[in-house]
Amino acid sequence: MGEKPAKKIFIQIVKQLHELIAQQNIQEGQKLPSERVLSEQLQVGRSSVREALRSLELLGLIETRHGGGTYLASMKHHQFVEIVGSFILQDEKSIADVHATRQMHEKEAIRIICQSKKFRTLPIWESFFVKVELDQPLKREDILRECIIVSGNRLALKIWLQLLAFSDNLLTSEITAEEKMEVKTLLTSMQMGYTNEAIDAYEKWIKIIK
């Protein structure tokens, strides 16, 4: 059997760490179990554990210190993450809010790119367009991630990465023939600075994906 999807592994590790912190009364600044121990407990590969821990570090729940080792971060951050994590992990209906919030960030990034000559003329958009046109492999999340990165808001990127982790696996799939027209329209509109057309193409693309 193959490994479980990355999203499920991420959720498992979040829950496991929450239990360890509570059961062992781990305090701020104290060391957490190693990647090897977590890998054995969760029965997943160490690379999967490592990626999940990187995501948790972005959230501010843990921190990696020079010289090795993972530690419980500031309780202020921990409490914030616990609230957010509880909302996402315990209420299945909230997945719709996860998608909506992620899409808000994506649309705002597209607007920012359209309104900046520097951003909309970057060669990456033409590169994506050519890949789509020639039916070369390209994941949906690659375009959306680049939009968030280019928009220049580091906090938005951190939030978006976490929302992506809690989203379904649709964005990790490659762009299909059915999506080509809307994706090309999105990329062309962004390059030309046509905000309304770009947002419209984005929304039609997301509707096709759903």
What is the reported pLDDT for 75?
54
The pLDDT value recorded for residue 185 is 97
Which CATH number is associated with domain 6-90?
Answer: 1.10.10.10
pLDDT score for 202: 98
User: What's residue 2's pLDDT?
Assistant: 46
Predicted local confidence at residue 77, as pLDDT = 52
pLDDT in tens, 37-82: 888 877 778 887 787 777 777 767 788 877 778 888 765 554 555 5
Q: What is the pLDDT of residue 147?
A: 96
Cβ(55)–Cβ(10) below 8 Å: yes
pTM above 0.85, yes or no: no
- Top-level class of domain 93-209: mainly alpha
- Please tell me the predicted confidence (pLDDT) of residue 160: 87
Distances (CA, A) of 192 to 23, 86, 126, 145, 187: 56, 42, 12, 20, 9
Residue ranges of the chain whose pLDDT lies below 70: 1-10, 12-13, 17, 20, 59, 74-94, 166-168
pLDDT at 177: 94
- Kindly list the domain boundaries of the chain, sorted by start residue: 6-90, 93-209
